[in-house]
Amino acid sequence: MKYILILVLFVSNMATAQKHFTKTGLTTFKASVDTFEPIEAKNESTTVILNTETGAIAALLFVKAFHFEIALMQEHFNENYMDSDKFPKATFKGQLIDFNMKHLSSEDKEFQLKGTLTIRGKDKLIATVAKLKKQHNKIVITSNLTVKPEEFDIKIPGIVRDKIAKSINLNLHYELVEKK
């Protein structure tokens, strides 16, 4: 019985050691058009978990955690476009293709990242490149992708349609530590 308990503890520690995470990941977006006011925001509280055994990755952010320089822009973003009271979270569930923890070093290594991005209850399949590297005791993940508001049923009123980019650029920077 004693050996079974030790084995269970050892296996559960191994399973935990296979995950890296952050609760302070940086997600930014830019929806600016050159001739108008910058439409940019950042969210510094994205939660991300990477299973280093399988390359499975999941992320969650609260929409209201996006911070804009202009308070009115933030209010419009949450109330008029994102309907963040009804859809408070955005999620991503995916896979780093051919991920192998042993191949990470202090230099960026590119992996194909595929998965499902869910915003406002709408799913979109995503395929992009993610760069990963080891930095001290962390795994640093950076990536960017482009989405369109209509893919998530985000309606842009005609009066401001020319002031908002047709494609939104998302930039990701996550520093993951081993989950213990």
**Which pLDDT does position 113 carry in this prediction?**
98
The distance from CA 122 to its chain's CA centroid, rounded to whole angstroms, is 16
Local confidence pLDDT in tens for the 180 residues of the chain: 544 444 344 444 444 448 999 999 999 999 887 767 888 999 999 999 999 999 999 999 999 999 999 999 899 999 989 999 999 999 999 999 999 999 999 999 999 999 999 999 999 999 999 999 999 999 999 999 999 999 999 988 887 778 888 999 999 999 999 988
Query: Structure pTM?
Result: 0.86
**Which pLDDT does position 46 carry in this prediction?**
97
**Which pLDDT does position 165 carry in this prediction?**
85
Report which of 111, 116, 110 is spatially closest to residue 97, judged by C-alpha positions.
111
Report which of 110, 87, 106 is spatially closest to residue 97, judged by C-alpha positions.
110
Q: How far apart are CA 24 and CA 93, in angstroms?
A: 18
**Which pLDDT does position 164 carry in this prediction?**
83
**Which pLDDT does position 163 carry in this prediction?**
80
Report which of 153, 104, 109, 115 is spatially closest to residue 130, judged by C-alpha positions.
109
**Which pLDDT does position 35 carry in this prediction?**
64
